[in-house]
Amino acid sequence: MSGAFLARRGAVIFDDLRAIQLRYGFLPKAELEGLSQRTQTPLYQIHSVASFYPHFHLVPPAKAEIRVCADMSCHLNGACELRADLERRFATSRPDDVQIRDVSCLGRCDHAPAVSINDQIFTGVAAEHAEQLACRAIRGEDFHEPHPKQARIECKADPYGNGATLDERYGVVRKLVQSRAFDDVLSQLKAAELRGMGGAGFPTSLKWDLVRKESDPVKYVVCNADESEPGTIKDRFIMTHLPHLLVEGMIIAGVVTGARRGILYIRHEYHLQEEVLGEEIRRCYRAGLLGKSILGTPLGFDLEVFVSPGGYICGEETALIEAIEGHRAEPRNKPPFPVQAGLWQKPTVLNNVETFINVPQILARGVDWFAAQGAGGSRGLKFVGVSGHVARPGIFEVPMGTSMREVILSRAGGIRGGRQLKAFAPSGPSSGYLPASMIDVCLDFKALAEAGSMLGSGAIVVCDDTTCMLDMALNAVRFYRNESCGKCVPCRVGSQKMTDMLVRWTQGGVPEPQYRADLALLEELSQAMSLTSICGLGQIVPAPIQSVLKHFRAEIDAHVLKGQCTSGICFTPASRAGEAQRVGIRP
């Protein structure tokens, strides 16, 4: 729910819609008409927003809405089979009792497969357990399971140590509001070469400096905690275990750039983290670290949490801003960039969770300490999520510059079940797939870019030798197709046409001249999408299939032309049945 400030700005449409949905279970037409009259909002505006976010139901939902996560890590861990199993179990159920559908990555990649039943998330579930939960939902019984109590994990990144009290924490902010050495902060961040950790890697000091120089008296700091890229789970970990560093990083951004208001944009599947952060923020207000006057100084900073109405596209910075403003999360044309005209057209610092937590680390311990944390010339620490076919999936804090070999084979316990590594994605579908032979590539902006991939958000997804790479490429493209906002032609239409083509390919037996023509057309389509899409989503859609064609060409050729799946998972009757259902588009 939005806080007082957002409510005053009128960005409460989501609160209104959620309130109606909470009461009726969906959004009845009469209620929306009432809302339109009360708020003087045209009907179409309410509908265009409500129909954009899958979180809102425009028709009454089934008593048990079962959503099986379909993306990368869950796909690698039997999500297809789980869904097919559940469909068999509920084959005779009435449609208003049970509805089973795919859902995009729920951010539980380390405990795949994940299932959501009436928006309650369950991880690592077997079909039988999911069936029992759904049956309880149908009977109207409470089926919630309590959050497992998690002890805070000691992180090297925390300059205050795990047992520190509130008085010991926030040391950087305490000093900074007295010294007001804001230029010094920027020069330290510059010397540390801190770059954005959300994927794009834009220099943080430069971004903050641009906002600081804007003359507008109203500015904002926004934290992007909407990680939704399949495989990305590191921000979830950071917000659970280091919430004070995130809040401190945002306060520093506020006082340095002159922004007096911060908004923490969190994905709606992170209930626990929302609670943890809410508690941390309240604690800071009580301690005078947040508010109109920080520790009695004229500097002020207010911070509130905004819960995303949902969707991968909301992680795109301007789409995220549009969502806060209560609109459809459609990315804006740039320029202007958020540093000039962001939230409500005001200069806005927009950074990822991990970027913010790096700031107090650097300022508390110095640039030299930060530089020394990295390996092989890289700087700082990096949180990575490792999921897929590994023995110990999870989030690991590693030095920047660590090799993938170390991360995958050592920290994550190597490949599960004694199988061989076939491929890995350094950062979800967007980074494309690299073959096992490139395992020595390091976690570093430059090294991964040179390998034709990217550091991205550190969402390492690992595939063993039973994986069909064409199937994985199709899985990725389908994810983008599902998550495209539909604003611009190349992404909206292109992602569907690319899906259509790959679906045809996975079925095998494509005549050679057709395949050749398809390859040429795919190249043209990839170019057009990368060059003309408004935002990064549309531009990156071709990456997975292009990387697979580059590194696994012989396998793809055999699959498409001869109908041979080297992994032996395609071309079975069961997979075909599952496939046909997954190709369908939402009406």
- Please report, as ranges, the residues that interact with another protein according to CB under 8 A: 29, 32-33, 40, 42-48, 51-54, 58, 311, 328, 333, 335, 481-490, 492-497, 500-501, 504, 517, 521, 524-525, 527-528, 530-534, 539, 585-587
Tell the smallest beta-carbon distance from residue 340 to another protein (Å).
12
**What residue type is assigned to position 299 of the chain?**
L
Tell the smallest beta-carbon distance from residue 534 to another protein (Å).
7
Tell the smallest beta-carbon distance from residue 284 to another protein (Å).
33
Tell the smallest beta-carbon distance from residue 438 to another protein (Å).
24
The C-alpha angle with vertex 431 and arms to 428 and 433, in degrees rounded to 5, equals 85
* Cβ closest to another protein, residue 42 vs residue 376: 42
What does the alpha-carbon distance between residue 185 and residue 205 come to, in Å, rounded to a whole number? 8
User: Among candidates 126, 345, 117, which has minimal Cα distance to 220?
Assistant: 345
* Cβ closest to another protein, residue 396 vs residue 479: 479
What does the alpha-carbon distance between residue 72 and residue 387 come to, in Å, rounded to a whole number? 9
Task: Look at residue 390 and give its three-state secondary structure.
Answer: strand
* Cβ closest to another protein, residue 208 vs residue 312: 312
Host H or E run for residue 142: none
What does the alpha-carbon distance between residue 475 and residue 479 come to, in Å, rounded to a whole number? 6
* Cβ closest to another protein, residue 54 vs residue 203: 54
Host H or E run for residue 307: strand 302-307
Tokens of 360: 């107090």
What does the alpha-carbon distance between residue 222 and residue 219 come to, in Å, rounded to a whole number? 10
CA distances from 586 to 16, 135, 182, 483 (A): 26, 26, 51, 12
Tell the smallest beta-carbon distance from residue 482 to another protein (Å).
7
* Cβ closest to another protein, residue 530 vs residue 564: 530
Tell the smallest beta-carbon distance from residue 358 to another protein (Å).
26
Tell the smallest beta-carbon distance from residue 371 to another protein (Å).
29
* Cβ closest to another protein, residue 40 vs residue 92: 40
Residue 447: exposure state from Cβ atoms within 10 A (0-12, 13-18, ≥19): buried
What does the alpha-carbon distance between residue 544 and residue 554 come to, in Å, rounded to a whole number? 16
What does the alpha-carbon distance between residue 304 and residue 112 come to, in Å, rounded to a whole number? 31
* Cβ closest to another protein, residue 53 vs residue 237: 53
* Cβ closest to another protein, residue 27 vs residue 350: 27
Tell the smallest beta-carbon distance from residue 13 to another protein (Å).
13
What does the alpha-carbon distance between residue 484 and residue 252 come to, in Å, rounded to a whole number? 34
Contact call for residues 438 and 405 (beta carbons, < 8 A):
no
Contact call for residues 112 and 97 (beta carbons, < 8 A):
no
What does the alpha-carbon distance between residue 320 and residue 331 come to, in Å, rounded to a whole number? 8
* Cβ closest to another protein, residue 287 vs residue 503: 503
What does the alpha-carbon distance between residue 186 and residue 211 come to, in Å, rounded to a whole number? 12
* Cβ closest to another protein, residue 140 vs residue 587: 587
Tell the smallest beta-carbon distance from residue 321 to another protein (Å).
16
Peptide bond into 435 cis (omega under 30): no
What does the alpha-carbon distance between residue 269 and residue 580 come to, in Å, rounded to a whole number? 28
Tell the smallest beta-carbon distance from residue 300 to another protein (Å).
24
Task: Look at residue 360 and give its three-state secondary structure.
Answer: helix
What does the alpha-carbon distance between residue 301 and residue 207 come to, in Å, rounded to a whole number? 19
CA distances from 454 to 229, 242, 446, 451, 543 (A): 14, 26, 8, 8, 11
* Cβ closest to another protein, residue 43 vs residue 153: 43
Tell the smallest beta-carbon distance from residue 250 to another protein (Å).
30
Tell the smallest beta-carbon distance from residue 363 to another protein (Å).
32
Contact call for residues 407 and 396 (beta carbons, < 8 A):
yes
What does the alpha-carbon distance between residue 530 and residue 177 come to, in Å, rounded to a whole number? 44
In this structure, how many other beta carbons lie within 10 angstroms of the beta carbon of residue 81? 14
* Cβ closest to another protein, residue 405 vs residue 492: 492
* Cβ closest to another protein, residue 51 vs residue 162: 51
CA 64 to chain centre: 26
Residue 145: exposure state from Cβ atoms within 10 A (0-12, 13-18, ≥19): exposed
* Cβ closest to another protein, residue 111 vs residue 487: 487
Tell the smallest beta-carbon distance from residue 47 to another protein (Å).
5
Tell the smallest beta-carbon distance from residue 483 to another protein (Å).
7
Tell the smallest beta-carbon distance from residue 487 to another protein (Å).
6
Contact call for residues 308 and 223 (beta carbons, < 8 A):
no
Categorise residue 145: left if φ over 0, alpha if ψ from -120 to 50, beta otherwise: beta
* Cβ closest to another protein, residue 42 vs residue 60: 42
In this structure, how many other beta carbons lie within 10 angstroms of the beta carbon of residue 282? 11
